[in-house]
Structure 1
Amino acid sequence: MVEEQNLYEVALTKLPGVGTQLTRQLVSYCGSAKAVFEANTAKLSKIPGVGPVLLKNLLDGSKTALYEAEEILKQAQEQDVQLLFYTSPKYPDRLKQIADAPTLLYFRGNGNLNQRRIISIVGTRQITSYGTSVTEKIVESLKPYNAMIVSGLAYGVDVVAHRAALQAGLQTIGVMASGPETIYPAVHRKYAERMLTQGGLLTENTFGTRPDAPRFPARNRIIAGMSDCTIVIEAALKSGTLITADLAHGYDKEVMAVPGNITSPVSEGTNYLIKSHKAATYTSVQDLVELLNWDLEDEAAAKKVKAAPVYDAAEYTSDELKVLQVLQQNGEEHMDNLSWKSQIPVSMLASVLLGLEFKGVVKAKPGKKFTLIL
């Protein structure tokens, strides 16, 4: 069942002329990727954005797309790659919220892409001894907060951040501009292989994709989009690192920069970000903790644990207990997220939530959101 679902999800990304936004539109109107392929001409033509040309592409390209998807599924199984469609519970929730998020991700590893705290660390490939020292210190200081470290597996700041995370016992994700089977640069393979058991490798590119230059800016949007904050260590004034910082800023994500020596070319970018108010200044982990309100979150979580109710299994159905567990772990949740995380179809979830409301344990909020009544 899951494999069949994956087949249609992957095939949907292979249809000509169907981009990220239209894919979401099609799935939203039809109900699932499989339903898109089974929909007739009349139904498809009523979907906003589907004109005569695209309709022809959808109908004529289905067989080819499904064949390509079969090949991808076969390679994914052989190489232990997880295919994460944007509706998958394992797909990064933070990334899902940005408009240009990839429809499909290829993931190798054991990391939780929805870990409670995720920090991206980026910077120059021409890292200095100061940059190395600062990167290692930042990662070590994040150990008590169990933060996941995300970077791009490149030379310089990226690989230092990954290496420091591995040494600190933190989960770390390398976001790649290549296919899931290609480690670039190859010299970082030893770190990449360790990351598979302590985080993982993530890409939007299918098998056989080479790490060509235009793919790196696209890769950067994933780094910026899947974390709570992007920390820039060292960067030249004109660099891919500043593109990542701008992307994070545009996604309403927090950006921090480490101030550097005013005579160093690789400090020009970080100092500019601070001076132009595009980034908060990072001088210690406390700056990050206060910016992201981690201290307040921890206080609230501690109080919540003390007050967390215990639900008697005899009084609730198995589906009700699944919903209660999700709400206990995550607090307020949108109905769609509740459906994905509890693995209960939306059509069934509505009645489950209504039953919990009648029992006085769940409260409906505006915007199809639900929370526990403590």
Structure 2
Amino acid sequence: MFYSSSAQWLFLTCLPKFGRSRWRAMLAVFPDLTDLLAKNSATLRAHGLHAETVAGILAWQQQDESNTFVNGVRQILLDCKRHDIGIVCWPHSDYPEVLRHIHDAPLVLYTLGDSSLLGHEQIGIIGSRNATPAGLDHARRFAAELSNRKLLVTSGLALGVDGAAHAGALDAGYATIAVVGCGLDRTYPNQHRRLGQRVVEKGLMVSEYPPGTPARAAHFPQRNRIISGLSRGILVVEAGLKSGSLITARMALEQGREVFAIPGSIHSPVARGCHYLIKQGARLVDTIDDILEELGASWLLPADCAAPNPAGALDSREIAVFEALGYDPQSTDTLCLATGLPADQLVQSLLLLELEGLVSSAPGGFQKIA
């Protein structure tokens, strides 16, 4: 067990004083980083490794299970076997090449589901945990359409936009990838337990944290760099000015990824982050083609899958009401004045539009669904 390739790479992640900057430096000297584990103490010290790192490697060579780090690897391997968790190490064929090239890539990924999906073209969808109904609808619709264009949707399984994006892909019959900030033997948030099961059944759940690791605040920015690192671009659906989504967008730019943002109402606090990103150069998105055009993609729907005209099944009264609506809520009194319709006819038209999925009720009245 201890001499397997997975065990060796796991041990490297457990070594004390062997963080990302150190192992990156060693990778330039030892293309197969596990070669370090066979070197003597003089060689290890000559390469500038910390005394605690050297002591850990020597304990590994002796298979000293009383050593905290050696025993830690044993426990991780047992837990992974118990929970059917896969281990994708740096040299593994399933380790995604795009992730390998970010400056702080993880040495090991833990997986539940189909790890071959890691190599697929991906688009990250992220946004507010306190999303509006319209934002949740945007996440679901864009996730379904992007999946249909052969882009695999990746997100973080959080409440709000993340969960809606995963559900949108799954409900449309496609796989999705969830990158989480805890061990894969846990579900966070607990409200997404069933959604997490669906992700594993149809797609893939990924973490850089071993089984037993609880969700901690510091893990989520780390998780976010993996979401952006796996993706060709990041779509921000809704975000406040202090949202973690803006941190992810910054990471995406640093990694050379495209950033897209959906605009919203100027009165909505969860639209301000998207507007900020657009001012900073993110691509404004109101249709899926905006994303595909920016990516230089050739993902086109077959002719028989073209989206129908949503107004095609409506009569002139419903069309007039639809055209009078905006993307901010409008009261029925305002709509009566704008359309010239009496209240009873207006309400009937709004009900029909709602049944067609074109309009939603909201505090303050009714609004279009993009």
The TM-score bracket by the shorter chain reads: 0.7 to 0.9
Give 5+ residue unaligned stretches, structure 1. Answer: 299-374
Cα distance change on mapping 1:80 and 1:216 into 2, 3 Å: same
For residues 168 and 5 of structure 1, what CA distance do their matches in structure 2 show?
38
Matched with 1:39 is 39
Aligned with 2:201: secondary structure? Answer: coil
For residues 14 and 217 of structure 2, what CA distance do their matches in structure 1 show?
22
Matched with 1:356 is none
**Is 1:245 the equivalent of 2:249?**
yes
Cα distance change on mapping 1:2 and 1:226 into 2, 3 Å: farther
The counterpart of 2:135, out of the listed 119, 125, 131, is 131
Matched with 1:349 is none
Matched with 2:11 is 11
Matched with 1:272 is 276
Q: CA deviation at 1:105?
A: 1.3
8 Å Cα contact 1:17-1:57 kept in structure 2: no
Matched with 2:98 is 94
**Alpha-carbon RMSD:** 2.3
Cα distance change on mapping 1:94 and 1:192 into 2, 3 Å: same
What are the within-5 Å matches in structure 2 for residues 74-85 of structure 1?
74-85=78-89
For residues 5 and 199 of structure 2, what CA distance do their matches in structure 1 show?
28
8 Å Cα contact 1:151-1:223 kept in structure 2: yes
* Cα offsets for 1:108-154 (capped at 9, x unmatched): 11143444420000000111121122112212221332211111111
Give 5+ residue unaligned stretches, structure 2. Answer: 302-370
Write the letter of the residue equivalent to 1:10: L
Cα distance change on mapping 1:111 and 1:158 into 2, 3 Å: same
Aligned with 1:126: secondary structure? Answer: coil
For residues 3 and 151 of structure 2, what CA distance do their matches in structure 1 show?
32
8 Å Cα contact 1:183-1:189 kept in structure 2: yes
For residues 166 and 111 of structure 1, what CA distance do their matches in structure 2 show?
17
Matched with 1:119 is 123
The counterpart of 1:288, out of the listed 291, 298, 301, is 291
8 Å Cα contact 1:13-1:103 kept in structure 2: yes
Matched with 2:54 is 55
Write the letter of the residue equivalent to 1:194: R
Cα distance change on mapping 1:24 and 1:85 into 2, 3 Å: farther
For residues 108 and 39 of structure 1, what CA distance do their matches in structure 2 show?
34
Aligned with 1:206: secondary structure? Answer: coil
* Cα offsets for 1:228-257 (capped at 9, x unmatched): 000000000111111111111111111000
8 Å Cα contact 1:140-1:165 kept in structure 2: yes
TM-score, normalised to structure 1, is 0.74
Matched with 1:142 is 146
Cα distance change on mapping 1:10 and 1:79 into 2, 3 Å: same
Aligned with 2:72: secondary structure? Answer: helix
Cα distance change on mapping 1:13 and 1:116 into 2, 3 Å: closer
8 Å Cα contact 1:11-1:69 kept in structure 2: yes
Write the letter of the residue equivalent to 2:262: V
Q: CA deviation at 1:106?
A: 0.9
Aligned with 1:90: secondary structure? Answer: coil
**Is 1:199 the equivalent of 2:203?**
yes
Q: CA deviation at 1:52?
A: 5.0
Matched with 1:151 is 155
Aligned with 2:95: secondary structure? Answer: coil
For residues 212 and 113 of structure 1, what CA distance do their matches in structure 2 show?
26
Q: How many residue pairs were aligned?
A: 296
For residues 50 and 278 of structure 2, what CA distance do their matches in structure 1 show?
47
Write the letter of the residue equivalent to 2:58: L
TM-score, normalised to structure 2, is 0.75
What are the within-5 Å matches in structure 2 for residues 260-339 of structure 1?
260-277=264-281, 279-295=282-298
Write the letter of the residue equivalent to 1:157: V
Aligned with 1:255: secondary structure? Answer: strand
* Cα offsets for 1:286-342 (capped at 9, x unmatched): 1111111112999xxxxxxxxxxxxxxxxxxxxxxxxxxxxxxxxxxxxxxxxxxxx
Matched with 2:341 is none
Aligned with 1:67: secondary structure? Answer: helix
8 Å Cα contact 2:150-2:299 kept in structure 1: no
8 Å Cα contact 1:224-1:230 kept in structure 2: yes
The counterpart of 1:180, out of the listed 178, 184, 187, is 184
Deviating beyond 4 angstroms after TM superposition, the runs of 4 or more aligned structure 1 residues are: 51-54
For residues 286 and 2 of structure 2, what CA distance do their matches in structure 1 show?
47
Please identify the structure whose Cα radius of gyration is greater: 2
